Structure formats: structure tokens, C-alpha cells
Amino acid sequence: MRQKINRRFTGIALFSVVITTIVMTAVFYSQLKKQVFSDLAVVADLLIDEGSYARKTDNLRITWIDADGKVLFDSTVDGQSLANHLDRPEIAEAVSSGSGMGIRKSDTLSESVFYYAKKLDNGQILRVGRETHSVVAVLLSALPMVLTTALVLAAICLMVSHYLTSAIVEPINKMAGDMEHIDEGKSYPELIPFTRKIRLQHEEILSAANIRQEFTANVSHELKTPLAAISGYAELMEAGLVNDKEMKRFSGEIRKSAARLLTLINDIIKLSQLDAGNAKDILDVVNLAEITKESVEMLVFGAAKNGIDVVYEGDDRADVHIGKELAQELVYNLIENAVRYNKPNGRVIVKVQKEGTQIIFSVEDTGIGIPLEHQERIFERFYRVDKSRSKELGGTGLGLAIVKHICNLTDADVNLMSKPGVGTKIFIVWGRGST
């Protein structure tokens, strides 16, 4: 970028110098031409005042012409050999208006000449001319100064271009090298929104990388536990160190670990799909109330074994743009959590309500509750308030993370209210649900 900016600045600068030189030369020539005609007019007036027209000078051509166009005298050639001059532009102009000027190639001298002609009181014409080479000589004498000035200007422009390029690029390079303070640069206030956006994206990338790294480490740890249990029990059984009485218990432990492993893998796959954004393809308007009642029916019998009562309250129809698969995942996860972490003979109340243009889904339990210091992190992956209890109850630590992902994907707000020993209420609000 530095070279590109420098080349453009240099090109603009050199172009400006060339144009300036041409304009200066043109202006100088124009002023010189005016000065030449002015000088010729002064000479003509002096000759008229002296009344002496037939004289020769080194740098001037003096022509004295009769009123009928006949050349009476010419300081350069024999006037008798010259043709009638009434058709000359400067002569014709002098006859009509009293004076005339012109620059043209002389047939007699075979070169361009500046002419000034003035009409006398008796109708005759006095013409004074100066050959172009004398004017060009003045231009050539000034040319070295013009070229020197142009070269100096070009050199200055090159240095200024280099300086400006560095001044423009250096703050940007500093910002690129110090992403932590990218929005503290004062060089370009106009770039502050842009730099803040870059810093935000940089922080998001770092955050995502940290989350991915942490997630990978947690996945490895979580998978290792059931695999180690399965491997340990299998080794004992293979070595014949398990009697018939213990065989059934060991087989049951292997089955539990395998089930936990399968559940964990399924949750990881779901999270990966949500991270990749693939779930957006299955978004559709569904009746959330109907899906919720189906999930309650599936979980009510299992909950009843622990004396937990699961009931549904609310509307019979509440349409949400979420898709059937995601709706089932969200509803089932929250109700299952409320049952899993409830107290014996507890209660779970599930509601779907319509309030204006909003659809509100809530799950309230009378369970163990969540301490205040853990409530902000409860939706993080693999985060558990009580790790030993969670694993004992079969939790993977990913259920609420999946719920949070689904809410983000479907533009829903998720909120939590909980008190240890009293219970927990989680409610999700869709603001653009259709009724």
C-alpha cells in the first residue's frame, strides 16, 4: 500500500509540475508578446514624431507604405520589388481602425515576424516588424531558469510525497501492530468507527478461539471419564476377575457409561451444527404449545417415579418461527433439567402464553435452585454448579448451552430467576411471534 500511495502522490506531483511549467511558459510567452507589440508601438510613435521613416536598424524591419498599398521604403529589401501590401492583415486593420497587429510568416524574410502598423495623418502606413528569432531568444534565455525551477519543484514534490505517504501509512501500521489500543489513535478521527469495528471483530475472533479451545479441552475431559469407566470394567471382566454376582453390576455400569457417552456425543454434534449455522435451513413456523405438550407427556411418567408432578398450563396455540426439531430440543432440555434437578415430590410447571405480539415459554420448578454467583455462567458449555451431582444425575453440561444457542438463532431472549432451596424459573420470549 505504501508504494502504491507513494507512486500516486509522485505521479500527481510530477503531473502538476509539468502542467505548471507549461502554463508558466504560455503565460510568459503571452506577456512577452504583449511587450513586443507594445515596444513596436513605441518605436512607431517615435518614428512618426521624428518624421523619418526611411531608416535602417539592426533588429527592426521598417516598412513605409503609400495609401494605395505601394511600398515606398523597406529597411530589409528593395521596396520597389515588393508587391502591394494592402492585403496584409495588419495593414488592412490599420487602414480601417488606425492601427493593426499580426504575427505571420513573411514571404520576403521566410520566417515569422511580429508586425505593428499605424496609419499616418496623410493616409500612408508605417509598419514596424521584429523577427521571431529575437523573441525566441528571450524565451530561450529564460528557459534554464524555468527548467531549474521545475526540477526544484519536482524534487520538493518527491520529498513531500514520501513524507505524506509515511505520515498516512505509519499510524495505520501502528494500529495494526497494537490491536489492544486500536481505537486510541488520534491521527484519523474519521477512522475511529472503522478501527473500533476492527477491534470488536478482533476481540470476537479471540473470544471464539478461546471458547473453541476451552470446548475442545472440556470435550476431551468429558469423553475420557465414561471411556475410562468402560475400559476399566471391560478389562476386569476380560481378565476373569469378576464373579457372576458382580458381572451384572459391571454390565450395568458399562451400559450407563455408554449411554452417557452417546448422550454427550449427540449434544456435541447438536452444538457443532448450531455453531456452523446449519440449523437456519430448518427454521419454520410451528405451534410451540403443541410441541410443549408432547414433551410434557413424554417426561411425565419418568418424573412420576420420583414423585415429581409435571403439568402444562397456557394456550393451545402459539406459533413461533423456530422449526420443529429446534423447538423439541429446547423444550425437552428445559423440562428434563427441571425434573432432573428437582426435589422428591416436587413440581414442574410448564407454560406457553401469548401476550400481544410476544410468545412466552417458561419452565418453573421447586428444585434445588442455583446460587446467585453461578447464574450468569449457567448457559456456558460444560458449566455445572455441582459437578458431582450433575454427573450422577446424567447431565452433560451442554443442555442449557444448546438452549442458549437456539434462542440466539431464533432471536429470542432467555431469562433466569432462581433461589437456592426454593427453585428455578427459566422463561424465553419471542418478540415477533404471530398469533
CATH code assigned at 377: 3.30.565.10
Q: Are strands 99-105 and 112-119 parallel, antiparallel or unpaired?
A: antiparallel
The answer to whether residues 11 and 64 belong to one domain is yes
* Cα–Cα distance measured from residue 395 to residue 326, given in angstroms and rounded to the nearest whole number: 19
**Tens digits of pLDDT across the chain (435 residues):** 667 766 776 777 777 777 877 787 778 778 878 888 898 899 888 888 888 777 787 778 899 899 998 988 988 887 677 888 888 899 999 999 999 998 887 666 556 788 999 999 889 999 998 876 655 565 666 667 777 877 887 788 778 777 777 777 776 676 666 655 555 555 566 666 767 777 777 777 887 777 777 767 777 766 777 788 888 888 888 888 888 778 888 888 888 788 777 877 777 777 676 766 666 656 789 999 999 999 999 999 889 988 999 999 988 889 998 888 889 889 998 999 899 889 888 999 999 999 888 999 999 999 989 898 888 888 887 777 765 555 555 566 677 888 888 888 888 999 999 999 899 999 999 985 443
* Cα–Cα distance measured from residue 221 to residue 213, given in angstroms and rounded to the nearest whole number: 13
Predicted TM-score (pTM) of the model is 0.49
The answer to whether residues 264 and 366 belong to one domain is no
* Cα–Cα distance measured from residue 162 to residue 58, given in angstroms and rounded to the nearest whole number: 53
* Cα–Cα distance measured from residue 171 to residue 177, given in angstroms and rounded to the nearest whole number: 10
Task: Determine what percent of the chain is predicted with pLDDT higher than 70.
Answer: 80
* Cα–Cα distance measured from residue 214 to residue 223, given in angstroms and rounded to the nearest whole number: 14
Instruction: Return the pLDDT at 109.
Output: 57
Domain assignment of residue 124, yes or no: yes
User: Which residues partner with 434 through β-bridges?
Assistant: 319
Domain count, the chain: 3
The answer to whether residues 325 and 364 belong to one domain is yes
CATH code assigned at 33: 3.30.450.20
Domain assignment of residue 67, yes or no: yes
The answer to whether residues 254 and 269 belong to one domain is yes
Choose the final residue of a domain: 276, 299, 331: 276
Instruction: Return the pLDDT at 292.
Output: 94
* Cα–Cα distance measured from residue 31 to residue 316, given in angstroms and rounded to the nearest whole number: 96
Give the residue numbers spanning the domain of 92: 2-137
Choose the final residue of a domain: 257, 276, 295: 276
The answer to whether residues 371 and 323 belong to one domain is yes
Choose the final residue of a domain: 114, 137, 160: 137
Angle, helices 399-409 vs 244-276, to 10°: value is 20
Domain assignment of residue 158, yes or no: no
The answer to whether residues 232 and 314 belong to one domain is no
Spatial CA neighbour of 63 closest among 125, 135, 107: 125
The answer to whether residues 251 and 357 belong to one domain is no
The answer to whether residues 312 and 251 belong to one domain is no
Spatial CA neighbour of 353 closest among 313, 310, 413: 313
Domain assignment of residue 250, yes or no: yes
